[in-house]
């Protein structure tokens, strides 16, 4: 089983334009649907998978790419932010690779991600 410790620390900060260089990662028929800024790089939701790019090192030139095909998602849950002191939402996915938790900063639309996952997983 894959080590998912780093995955459990993903935080989506805000929605951003889809990076131009993501097209080199896509396969035929795959389309980037939405992108989110993370602390060091970006997460891109396509019609087939979630791609998380993680810049590493002092210069950020070394980039690790995680690819999570929607076909391996067995179940997911979403939790919207509370009102007073709770500023983050959470998206959890149970996959063949393990349990993945993604925190969403205030302003990231959790229901948009819910619909995106439902459209990809349930079709």
Q: What is the pLDDT of residue 97?
A: 78
Number of domains comprising the chain: 1
CA 84 from chain center: how many Å? 26
CATH number, domain with residue 112:
2.30.29.50
Host H or E run for residue 89: strand 89-95
In a domain, 38, yes or no: yes
Q: How confident is the model at residue 7 (pLDDT cuts 50, 70, 90)?
A: low
**Helix, strand, or coil here: 22?**
helix
In a domain, 1, yes or no: no
Q: pTM to 2 decimals?
A: 0.84
Distance CA(46)–CA(26), nearest Å, equals 9
Q: Does 5 have pLDDT greater than 70?
A: no
Q: Does 47 have pLDDT greater than 90?
A: yes
Mean pLDDT of 46-52: 94
CA 121 from chain center: how many Å? 14
In a domain, 88, yes or no: yes
Domain residues for the domain of 97 are: 7-121
């Amino acid at each position: 089983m894959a080590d998912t410790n780093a995955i459990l620390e993903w935080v989506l900060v805000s929605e951003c334009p889809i990076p131009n260089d993501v097209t080199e990662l896509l396969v035929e028929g795959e389309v980037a649907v939405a992108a989110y800024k993370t602390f060091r790089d970006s997460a891109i939701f396509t019609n087939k998978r979630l791609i998380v790019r993680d810049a590493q090192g002092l210069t950020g030139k070394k980039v690790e790419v995680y690819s999570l095909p929607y076909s391996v998602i067995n179940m997911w849950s979403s939790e919207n932010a509370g009102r007073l002191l709770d500023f983050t939402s959470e998206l959890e996915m149970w996959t063949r690779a393990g349990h993945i938790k993604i925190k969403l900063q205030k302003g990231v639309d959790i229901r948009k991600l819910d619909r995106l996952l439902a459209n990809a997983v349930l079709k």
